[in-house]
Chains A and B, each alone.
Chain A
């Protein structure tokens, strides 16, 4: 069974600084996707960034980047130049896409607070 672990329940960062959120996962699959989702208070879950396991290059989306270490099964999210609007719950998630094993599993989340 796949599991996703986020070891930081809460984090805070000053506006304009950089913060890294940690995520580890466990799987026996070789083909899978990893995601970071953001859930602002009382708002809808939205995708921040995705990483295909078969790609060695780390994904980046503007101020968001990941450090994907496949052998270590680690997938951390770096937020640069933090903004007040980045305040949210951040969830790491894992999904296989092979055949019938397509479950999307989430970690318990990290609550990020960006302080002015």
Chain B
């Protein structure tokens, strides 16, 4: 396992189009997180999954955004009717988590991100 991978690395789309990003977490990780990061800012939480269950969604995640994690493996983040304000880096991370997983492996490992540019 080479870590968290995200696809695509870069996406340029026209305003109003739909886009979908994919994240493949580290295989044994039960938690998967999505963040949005704009230039010079910290990652803003969007949503996270524990296995296939989406446990929390940020208010940043408007009804144009949807995320899925079928079967608790890879995840997709879809943005419908993109707007210029959606331009950002979208980061995915995975970790072990939950009451059964205290210990050294709790940290989140990040992918390289998908840079979205809406023109």
Contact = CB atoms under 8 A, between A and B. Distances in A.
A6 B40 CA distance: 13
Given A44-B111, A45-B91, A108-B41, A103 B106 contact: no
B41 A109 contact: yes
Contacts of B108: 35, 47, 93, 95, 104
B85 interface: no
A16 interface: no
A46 B50 contact: no
Interface of A (DSSP majority class) = strand
Interface stretch (B16-24, B66-74, B75-83, B92-100): B92-100
Contacts of B90: none
Contact of B102 (A35, A37, A97): A97
Interface string A1-29: 00000100000000000000000000000
Contact of A97 (B35, B42, B106, B113): B106
Contacts of B55: 100, 102
A33 interface: yes
B21 to A, nearest CB: 16
Contacts of B102: 31, 52, 97
Interface residues of A, number: 28
Interface string A84-108: 0000010101010111101111111
Contacts of A35: 107-108
A104 B110 contact: no
A82 to B, nearest CB: 21
B43 A50 contact: no
Given A91-B43, A108-B42, A45 B106 contact: no
Interface of B: 31, 33, 35, 40-45, 48, 50, 55-56, 91, 93, 95, 97-99, 101-102, 104, 106-113
